[in-house]
Structure 1
Amino acid sequence: MKNSILLGSLFLASFFMEAQNTAPLDTIFANDQKNVALFFPNPIRQGITGADNFVFTYNREKEQFFGLLQAKPGKASNLLVINTNGSIFSYIVSYREQLEKLNYFVPQSESIGFEQPKFTEGSDSTNIANLFTDKTFYYERFCSYLLTRKQRIGSIQKRKNGIILSLENIVFDKEELYFVIKIQNKSSLDYDLNFLDISTQTRKQGKKKSLQRISQFPNFKYDVPTKVAEKQIKRMVYVLPKFSLSNDKMVVLKLNEKNGERNIKLKVSNKYINNPN
């Protein structure tokens, strides 16, 4: 996920970094044998690493002040953490077989800035506030970031007549689920997209079991194509309000071709919805 590209929130935060706090980033070393604990001055709201060989875990359900870092051998990357008060902390993370330090107590002074703007008397606060309260600004940058990541939630795909529909990732962020979707055209004929619909559906259980289908309306769609040319790949993101599913339900992605019959239904188990990245 990928080298120097950071979480979408950092695009917002970078506008408000205070010059006096922009010191060189410290390096935190980790490995896959021990947990490295980071204790912050405020509870963690969001934390993410820049590469798949690093994992930063924290309690997403109940606010806590610490997170755990582990690493596998690979290139160095970065860790971005945002506290509940909007403070931003950023570090270089690197793999090391032997660790000299297992616990880091992070002072507020190491914050590189704040997620939300701090207005001064002479600033055009109205214009800045309008820009950053427009959620489209955040959606576009976070979706763009997700399309650069190599993270996958599993091998979930369905193919028909040379058209492959894949669900690459599901990411939970700010009470929403981000579905990263790929359409690959291996045929010799262009694919004109009519619509791509996401719905929840009851699994069939016996002859008398009725089928319930409920459409999930996205809050935002990013990079949805109208055409996938022959031998091309298109990737997009659907942003849906957070939801969970019981064991008798699943998600269905329905891809429909305009003026054609290469229609695909991709079924996704409830376990992927209930355990997003």
Structure 2
Amino acid sequence: MRVIISILTIFIFAFAKAQTTIKLDTIYANDTKNVALFFPEPIRQGITGSDNFVFTYNREKEQYFGLLQAKPGKESNLLVVNRNGSIFSYIVRYKKQLSKLNYFIPISSSIGNEKPIATDSILAESSEVRIDNRTYHYQKFCSYLLNRKQRIGRIKKRNEGIVVSVENIVFDKKELYFVIQIENNSTLDYDLNFLNLSIETRQKGKRKSLQRLYQEPIYKHNLPSKIVEGETVRLVYVLPKFSLSNDRRAILELNEKDGERNIEMKLSHRYINNPN
């Protein structure tokens, strides 16, 4: 009985706080499909405000995801508490046709914590919070860029039905965002070994040579491990801002695992130095 009262107390307190300070996101579900919610920490408790919504999760062994289903009826709300005490609250509604079946919940969506956080804990976790906030910004901005139709030019190369395009290069804050599209127009699946971006420098002198320096992305968005036949994927690489002189250029390398359908694309300094 005490456990039930405790859960309801947390539920009421968190929902009231969310209503007064945060506009809650809405998650749609129905009775024919499972809607999966993936959280940054394992789920300790999950409860819905109405019995026409059911949220199931592993109560014996804590896991990172839960499944939501709904029957026709009035909207309600869902409250989830993670193992570390983070609280998440959402409006839930029934919808016959669903356009989204998976939700990846970032830590930044938490409306609070069920326990007061000590000052020393805040100091110890401050750098971690900054990292989470930055990653959350990358996620949101990359999604925004993938929904835009802006292009920087016609930068495309193909090899045996595999087509790579650099659709856009965008500068934001201190980073460059490379929007990349890979099409598999062949009859075989494409297993990705690596997709690298390097800077190539032409060495001056009697014996001219080329030197490449690999650029490590800060963040990779939607990078697949496989591109099945007939599929087109779009992804974003985020790198620290850089510029190139006339004797340097960027090289994008797509390499197939256990295959030879490799592509090497040269990006002129003009594209790098004049991003959108």
Q: Please tell me the TM-score bracket, short chain as reference.
A: 0.5 to 0.7
What do the CA deviations read for 1:157-183 (whole angstroms, capped 9, x no partner)? 110000001111000011110001110
> Following TM superposition, by how much is the alpha carbon of 1:205 offset from its aligned partner in structure 2, in angstroms?
7.9
Does 2:200 match 1:201? yes
Question: What is the one-letter code of the residue matched to 1:245?
Answer: L
> Following TM superposition, by how much is the alpha carbon of 1:132 offset from its aligned partner in structure 2, in angstroms?
6.1
Contact 2:203 2:211 (8 Å CA) reproduced: no
> Following TM superposition, by how much is the alpha carbon of 1:203 offset from its aligned partner in structure 2, in angstroms?
4.7
Aligned to 1:172: 171
> Following TM superposition, by how much is the alpha carbon of 1:208 offset from its aligned partner in structure 2, in angstroms?
2.3
Matches within 5 A, 1:74-153: 131=129, 134=132, 135-153=134-152
Matches within 5 A, 1:1-277: 131=129, 134=132, 135-203=134-202, 208-277=207-276
What do the CA deviations read for 1:196-230 (whole angstroms, capped 9, x no partner)? 00001125889821111111111111110001111
Closer, same or farther: CA 188–146 of 1 in aligned 2, 3 Å: same
Closer, same or farther: CA 211–132 of 1 in aligned 2, 3 Å: closer
Closer, same or farther: CA 160–133 of 1 in aligned 2, 3 Å: closer
> Following TM superposition, by how much is the alpha carbon of 1:147 offset from its aligned partner in structure 2, in angstroms?
0.6
Higher helix share: 2
Closer, same or farther: CA 261–204 of 1 in aligned 2, 3 Å: farther
Give distance in 1, aligned partners of 2:184 and 2:206.
36
3-state SS, counterpart of residue 261 of structure 1: coil
Unaligned runs of 5+ in 2: 1-17, 23-115
Unaligned runs of 5+ in 1: 1-14, 20-122
Aligned to 1:69: none
Contact 2:183 2:230 (8 Å CA) reproduced: yes
Question: What is the one-letter code of the residue matched to 1:263?
Answer: N
Question: TM-score with structure 2 length normalisation?
Answer: 0.53
Give distance in 2, aligned partners of 1:184 and 1:257.
13
Q: Which has the larger radius of gyration?
A: 2
Question: TM-score with structure 1 length normalisation?
Answer: 0.53
Give distance in 1, aligned partners of 2:168 and 2:206.
33
Percent identity for Structure 1 against Structure 2: 58
Instruction: Give the total of aligned pairs.
Output: 161
CA root-mean-square deviation = 3.0
3-state SS, counterpart of residue 259 of structure 1: coil
Deviates more, 1:196-205 or 1:155-164: 196-205
Question: What is the one-letter code of the residue matched to 1:160?
Answer: N
| Higher RCO structure (Cα 8 Å, ≥6 apart) | 1
Give distance in 2, aligned partners of 1:204 and 1:264.
24
